[in-house]
Structure 1
Amino acid sequence: MSLVVIKLGGAVMEQAEPALKLFRTVADLQAKGHQVVLVHGGGIFVEQQMQAQQLVSDKLDGLRVTPDEHMPVVVGALAGYANKLLVSYAKQSGVDACGISLADGGITTATVLNPKLGAVGTCQAADPALVQALLSAGKVPVISSIAMSAEGRLLNVNGDDAATVIAQLLSADLVLLSDVDGVLDGNKQLIPQLDEAGIEQLIADGVITDGMIPKTKAALATARSLSRPIAVANWRYPERLAGLLQGEPVGTRILP
């Protein structure tokens, strides 16, 4: 039985039909004997809540600067609304899902990434027991990117990094779903595969920018730690996931 971690961004959660289509694919994967774990961010929901409360939210190197006073909004948007919205979509698609966060069950440990970023964390894999128990019960864990430090401070973790850690925790395949077909070159053409040198060159050339920088670096880190390629693919075509798990070329493969 194969195990795959799928990382979702906020875009797929904004519209019901793409999300339902994704969960129908998850149901098909389960029927074929695959175990699935979903990890999500949801920056678009954070932005909406920030604007509603007239809070200014800056970014540094593609990461959200998060003062502690913003964390009630961030936690509510990610571990609250976004997480339960996905569980709702799962239920509507016949998938038995359970919403948790990086902070639950000791599945990860977390520390502050950079004091300049505020309550933004980096996390490490810790105890897989909770996730394994959910999988053994036939459930799909839906994990939000809210973590907790050893001192109990809530931390906001980049969603791609969160998915990387969960894949490491479970020694699972990882698929990072994006709003593009994969990593694109300067002419907007799909790059079938990339290694570290290729990623660094594209970043230096300004081809890989913004949120795709942490996405590709997270995929590279996971590819290294698991000694297997990681896929960056388009959430609009979840039906391709089954082929991807069978080794078919889908999206961009990040090589270790």
Structure 2
Amino acid sequence: MANHTPLVIKVGGALLEDKTAAIHFFSTLKQLMPSVPLVLVHGGGNSVENLLKALGLTSEKIDGLRVTPNEHLPYVVGALAGTVNKTLCGWAMQQGIVPVGLSLLDGGICTATQLNEKLGAVGTAKANDPQLLLQVLGNQQLPIVSSIGADANGQLLNVNADEAAAAIAHALEAKLVLLSDVPCVLDADMQPIAELNSKSIEQLIAQGVINGGMAVKVKAALQTANQIGNPVIIASWKTPEQLLGLIQGEAVGTTIHSDAESNAENIAEYQMKLSSETK
């Protein structure tokens, strides 16, 4: 492969509701695979919601995270690690890709710990052992990873897919792209924001401009940017051809910069200002 830095791509469950877009998406991944190792991480909130409703169960979210009582867990696992994962694998196969369907717990890719009792069987993921992913990538196959993890005792946990993708990107020291059905982060006037750093993220969350699931996404992106030393991109799966430009260095969506990048930029600006003042 020409580019040996892996690219971790996260897609939301809304992709499953648009088969035409999904086929276009996997066709684009097929074009990317000779140039860069790819890992696909997915959520599936809509599929989970639909299944729970069909079963007469109510579901709620707190701060963008789905509350998962133990009695809901078998259905959440079945939807994410089963139906959603294998549907995506099937669509990948239609485009000539060899998929390998996985979860966070397989091969010890990530470890998970429960967040709190209030959220139930909801966990946060931490990078652990990337060897299984590296083996799959070495075979020119596409890992498709659901966000179901487990703690040290084997207790299954529902992990936010953005956080799952962030943990995998950390494990692989990879670039991370978070794709949803919106093209970027929007400001208060619903206009695109090209770049964000920790300061601007904190301000926009405090103002309520960034909230709910997008706040979770942006926080996970910033945390990962700080961990891996690479910026993280938030963009849309509706225009996957942007990924082709991305690996060529083009700017797409919203770029989340690490604190190190922001500090370096501030220092550079200060030095330039100081230089001009002393002339």
| TM-score range for the pair, normalised by the shorter chain length | over 0.9
Instruction: Write the mapping of 1:233-244 to structure 2, written as runs, cut at 5 A.
Output: 233-244=235-246
- Aligned amino acid, residue 64 of structure 2: G
Match of 1:83 among 79, 85, 98: 85
- Aligned amino acid, residue 10 of structure 1: G
CA separation in 2, counterparts of 1:207 and 1:178? 18
| Alignment partner, residue 274 of structure 2 | none
- Residue by residue over 1:74-123, the C-alpha shift from the partner in whole angstroms, topping out at 9 and shown as x without a partner, is 00000000000000010011111110000111111111011110000011
CA separation in 2, counterparts of 1:57 and 1:241? 34
For normalisation by structure 1, the TM-score amounts to 0.98
Instruction: Write the mapping of 1:93-104 to structure 2, written as runs, cut at 5 A.
Output: 93-104=95-106
Match of 2:29 among 11, 26, 31: 26
| Alignment partner, residue 245 of structure 1 | 247
| Alignment partner, residue 115 of structure 2 | 113
Instruction: Write the mapping of 1:1-256 to structure 2, written as runs, cut at 5 A.
Output: 1=3, 2-31=5-34, 33-256=35-258
CA separation in 1, counterparts of 2:96 and 2:198? 40
CA separation in 2, counterparts of 1:187 and 1:245? 30
State the identity %. 53
CA separation in 2, counterparts of 1:105 and 1:228? 25
- Aligned amino acid, residue 62 of structure 1: G
Determine helix, strand or coil for the equivalent of 2:100. Answer: strand
- Residue by residue over 1:184-227, the C-alpha shift from the partner in whole angstroms, topping out at 9 and shown as x without a partner, is 11111111100011011111111111110000000000110111
Determine helix, strand or coil for the equivalent of 1:68. Answer: coil
Q: CA deviation at 1:41?
A: 0.7
CA separation in 2, counterparts of 1:122 and 1:42? 17
CA separation in 1, counterparts of 2:182 and 2:78? 28
CA separation in 2, counterparts of 1:106 and 1:229? 26
| Alignment partner, residue 261 of structure 2 | none
CA separation in 2, counterparts of 1:15 and 1:117? 30
For normalisation by structure 2, the TM-score amounts to 0.90
Determine helix, strand or coil for the equivalent of 1:211. Answer: helix
CA separation in 1, counterparts of 2:181 and 2:157? 26
CA separation in 2, counterparts of 1:215 and 1:245? 22
Determine helix, strand or coil for the equivalent of 1:5. Answer: strand
CA separation in 2, counterparts of 1:118 and 1:106? 22
- Aligned amino acid, residue 21 of structure 1: H
- Residue by residue over 1:138-192, the C-alpha shift from the partner in whole angstroms, topping out at 9 and shown as x without a partner, is 1000000000111111000000000000000100000000211111111111111
CA separation in 1, counterparts of 2:131 and 2:43? 22
**Moved >3 Å (runs of 4+):** none
Q: CA deviation at 1:235?
A: 1.0
Over the residues paired in the alignment, what is the CA RMSD in angstroms?
0.8
CA separation in 2, counterparts of 1:186 and 1:113? 30
